[in-house]
Amino acid sequence: MARAQALSFSALLLCAALCIHTVTASNEAGIILIQGGTVVNHDQQFEGDVLLRGGLIAEVAPRITPPPGARLLNASGCYVLPGGIDPHTHLDMPFMGTVTADDFYTGQAAALAGGTTYHIDFALPLLHDLLQGYRVWKERAARGCMDYSFHMAVTKWTHDVATDMATLVAEGINSFKFFMAYKGSLQVNDEELIEGLNRCKELGALPMVHAENGDMVAWMQEKLLAAGVTGPEGHPLSRPPALEGEATGRAIRLAGVVGVPLYVVHVMSIDAMEEVARARQRGQRVIGEPVASGLALDEVPVWDANFTRAAAFVMSPPLRSAEHAPALRKALASGLLQLVATDHAVFNSSQKAAGRRDFRRIPNGVNGIQERMHVVWQEMVVSGLATPSEYVRMTSTAAAQIFNIYPRKGRLAAGSDADVIILDPRVKHTLGVGASHSPRMDTNVYEGKEIQGRVVTTISRGRLVWHEGVLDVAEGSGRYVPLPAFGPLFEGMAEQARRAMQLPYGPTPVVRDSEEAGSDEGGSKSCSAAGVL
């Protein structure tokens, strides 16, 4: 670690590239005993040992006698935590006329170096065809080097889409994303969204929304361009928080009427956060996902006179004015928001340059897959807003629970996957391009950000992949993790729907009296719907 810190900027760049290209698969999942650390789960913290064998956690206890042949790792003074779970990434994704720069290998390698051991990537349909999109995403992901699953986006509503959603659920996709923005490409209208919500309900799959009013964004973009605004600042100006709040509230209301849980991705504003909080207060099953960038950054760099720097910060929904990030951090600390993702969608400077004369053409997205665990540690734990256990909840356990893979992921316990990290709170380091293990990035939205505490070891399925500053990952060693439908968020939903249908006024057709009905047959005046379901 000290050696890596002493390396010059250019040497570090070279090292990152070399680490990616000279990987070995030498280090098989053997027996590892992590000794004397502070073991942290979302509901407990104690001094103890963690024994890993054959890719699984074999034992977690205050003191474990080293088995013969075990590799011993001394974790004294460190936290031993479940590996990070990033529930929102875009690797190798065609988008806005280009493709995100990190593929499954470079992105996952960077993730492991930053303490994330599992992610859920957004697969896109191919020309609205879900099964073709899934096939292509599986091919792309075969290059990877860590565990992954998929969400699937729905970009149009047809009979085939409804059928294919069921096929994908059988393949282990238990969540579908609907874009309420990106008019003319990914955006669905309300009718399509409602059909999708209902189909998700039938399949026990979690609907997710990118919540911005895309029609209004397009309208704002035209107005700004007509007024001569062409630079990156046109991006936040055309997507004010009100448009995020409106779409978030609309999606929540629609999901509430359909009777399905809802997951709101990248909550970037107070406006959207308050919609999520109000819905939860009403008793609705809504999950709000802030992303690392939204918790730590603001929109100021987007106004930078240097186009390359400004464009690097363009993402949707946009980074907001200074008051939003602290409010999101507090909402996360208090449980109004539930978990932290990255929305990692990286484009290098030449890709971003496509929008030099028209902000609408700047590919949207920022980095974070390597930085998230450190950014959240700094902003939430070092700041005193969250405890280490709460950190585990928001970076790992909550995602595992929501996407129905807990406690296989998201917990240090016997039988769980051996995805474990060791974080040394004494080590200071600085984020940026020079520290990145993605060789494709030439900007970093966290450039120069200082962090107190560092992931010094990452173990992925029992393999030591990041240790003492060396990344040892093998291309093609990743594994697809199917996710079962009807996760915990669906518990009790049928009962909620049944009760809603038993309200005094519906949905049994009201039988009018004979005079009103134009018949003298009469009929029941009861409007009780008891038993309709």
Q: Which residues contact Zn ion by CB under 5 A?
A: 210, 343
Between 365 and 432, name the residue whose CB sits nearer to ligand URP: 365
Q: Which does 364 bind (CB under 5 to 8 A by kind): ligand URP, Zn ion, none?
A: ligand URP
Smallest separation (angstroms) from ligand URP to the CB of 161:
20
Q: Determine, following the binding rule CB under 6 A, whether residue 295 of this chain makes contact with ligand URP.
A: no
Shortest CB 345 distance to ligand URP, Å: 4
Strands 84-89 and 116-123: parallel
Dmax (CA) of the chain? 94
Which phi-psi region, left, alpha or beta, contains residue 172 (left: φ > 0; alpha: ψ -120 to 50)? left
**Binding of residue 364 to ligand URP (CB under 6 A):** yes
Alpha-carbon span 110 to 525, nearest angstrom? 67
Q: Which of 165, 208, 345, 375 binds ligand URP (CB under 6 A)?
A: 345
Give the residue at shortest CB distance from ligand URP. 364
* CB 365, min distance to ligand URP, A: 4
3-state secondary structure of 429: strand
44 vs 40: CA distance, rounded Å: 6
Residues sharing a CB contact under 8 Å with residue 396, sequence separation 6 or more, in sequence order: 42, 81, 82, 83, 84, 85, 409, 410
Please answer whether residues 271 and 240 qualify as being in contact, where contact means their C-beta atoms are separated by less than 8 angstroms.
Answer: no
Q: Which of 224, 251, 315, 455 binds ligand URP (CB under 6 A)?
A: 315
* Helix, strand, or coil (residue 395): helix
Q: Which is nearer to ligand URP, 39 or 152 (CB)?
A: 152
- Candidate list 343, 379, 417, 419; residue touching ligand URP; CB under 6 A: 343
Q: With respect to Zn ion, which residue has the nearer C-beta, 210 or 324? A: 210
Residue 265 Cβ, how far from ligand URP at the closest point, in Å?
7
Query: Following CA atoms 196, 198, 203, 205 in sequence, which dihedral angle do they give, to the nearest 10 degrees?
Result: 60
Which of 199, 210, 239, 320 is in the footprint of ligand URP by CB under 6 A?
Answer: 210
Q: Does 243 bind ligand URP (CB under 6 A)?
A: no
Please report, as a single letter, which amino acid is at residue 415: G
| From the list ligand URP, Zn ion, none, partner contacted by residue 483 (C-beta under 5 to 8 A by kind) | none
Cβ burial of 4 (10 Å; 0-12, 13-18, 19+) is middle
The yes or no reply on residue 297 touching ligand URP (CB under 6 A) is no
**Min separation Cβ 8 and ligand URP, Å:** 32
- As a whole number of angstroms, the distance between CA 166 and CA 178 comes to 16
Are 55 and 29 contacting, i.e. CB atoms less than 8 angstroms apart?
yes
Shortest CB 210 distance to ligand URP, Å: 5
Binding-site partner at residue 394 among ligand URP, Zn ion, none, CB < 5 to 8 Å by type: none
Q: Are 375 and 446 in contact (CB under 8 A)?
A: yes
DSSP run (H or E) holding 399:
helix 398-402
Site residues (CB under 6 A) for ligand URP, limited to 69-98 = 90
Report the residue number, 210 or 352, with the smaller CB distance to Zn ion: 210
| One-character DSSP codes across 258-304 | HT--EEE----SHHHHHHHHHHHHTT--EEE--BHHHHH--SGGGG-
Residue 123 as a binder of ligand URP (CB under 6 A): the answer is: no
Residue 447: exposed, middle, or buried by beta-carbon count in 10 A (0-12, 13-18, 19+)? middle
> If 0-12 CB within 10 Å is exposed, 13-18 middle and 19+ buried, where does residue 5 land?
middle
Closest to Zn ion by CB, 199 vs 239, is 239
Least distance (Å) between residue 398 CB and Zn ion = 18
* Structure token pair of residue 327: 């409010």
Integer Cα distance of 382 and 375 in angstroms = 10
Cis peptide bond prior to 388, omega within 30° of 0: no
For Zn ion, give the closer residue by CB, 134 or 178: 178
Residue of 107, 294, 365, 487 interacting with ligand URP (CB under 6 A): 365
Closest approach of ligand URP to the CB of residue 247, in Å: 12
Residue 316 sits in the site that holds ligand URP (CB under 6 A): yes
Find the shortest distance in angstroms from Cβ 90 to Zn ion.
5
Q: Are 144 and 116 in contact (CB under 8 A)?
A: no
Q: In angstroms, what is the minimal distance from the CB of 92 to ligand URP?
A: 13
Interaction of residue 238 with ligand URP, rule CB under 6 A? no
Least distance in angstroms from the C-beta of 288 to ligand URP = 15
Residues of this chain that bind ligand URP (CB under 6 A): 90, 210, 315-316, 343, 345, 364-365
